[in-house]
Amino acid sequence: MFPPSLVDEVIAQVGRTEQRHRSLPARVMAYFSIGMALYSEGSYEDVLGQLTDGLSWASGWQDSYCPPSKSAIFQARVRLGSEPLAALFERVARPIGGAQTPGVWLAGRRLVAVDGTCLDVADTAVNAEAFGRPGVNKGEQAAFPQARVVALAECGTHAVFAARVGPYSQSEATLTRSLLDQVAPGMLLLADRGSARCARPSRSRRRISRCASEFGP
């Protein structure tokens, strides 16, 4: 899904190709960032260990390897930035259900759904400024900043093919509006009651709004 040639292409596209040889080049850090999503509970060292073990198994590489420090990994992540990962997602994220995939189709239309959530992000001053913190009791703020995420996913496969990330203060409805141009002709969009109010598809699109009251016992 993420061949090295494509990873290198998007890294060059956003201007993150390194100018000198490094022990943690941009390509490695792109795969490392993907690994962090797969092993979200692991430390930097754990994720890099999983990555190098997998690469050595796949390639038959048996040389000794001295892993870089946590500080070196952090600095390499900063050099890479978020732009290559966003560009990579845009290049590969697509509905994947085939003609016979269960749950993907209804009356000849591809079923997709939009929904949102909030995710804790690292407790840093930069993240706190960019995303903000939710309030808690007695006027205090939460321990971690939170990002609000809204995504479009294919029903049946749960494949996310478009997403928007914003600060906690940004409403789910606003992020949903920015996603509607990703609903292609021939798709049937499912949305909850809140999202349905802001979804105004063009004539070439169709929408079904499902309300919680409709799913009573």
Q: 81 and 100: one domain?
A: no
Same domain? For 78 and 103 the reply is no
Across 133-162, average pLDDT = 92
Number of domains in the chain: 2
Please give the pLDDT value at position 213.
39
Last residue of a domain, one of 91, 107, 141: 91
Which of residues 75, 91, 107 is at a domain's end? Answer: 91
Contact 7, 30 (CB under 8 A): yes
Q: What pLDDT is attached to residue 214? A: 42
Residue 170 has pLDDT above 50, yes or no: yes
Give 205 or 55, the one with higher predicted confidence: 55
Q: What pLDDT score was predicted for residue 1?
A: 78
Residues 49 and 126 in one domain: no
Give the whole-number percent of the chain exceeding pLDDT 90. Answer: 61
pLDDT at 210 over 60: no
Can you tell me the distance from the alpha carbon of 77 to that of 5, in angstroms, rounded to the nearest whole number?
Answer: 20
The pLDDT of 40-49, averaged and rounded, is 87
Q: Are residues 129 and 178 in the same domain?
A: yes
If residue 164 lies in a helix (H) or strand (E), which one and from where to where? strand 160-167
Residue numbers of the domain that contains 163: 93-215
At residue 42, the pLDDT reads 86
Confidence band of 67 (pLDDT split at 50, 70, 90): confident
Question: Looking at 30, 60, 91, which one is the last position of a domain?
Answer: 91
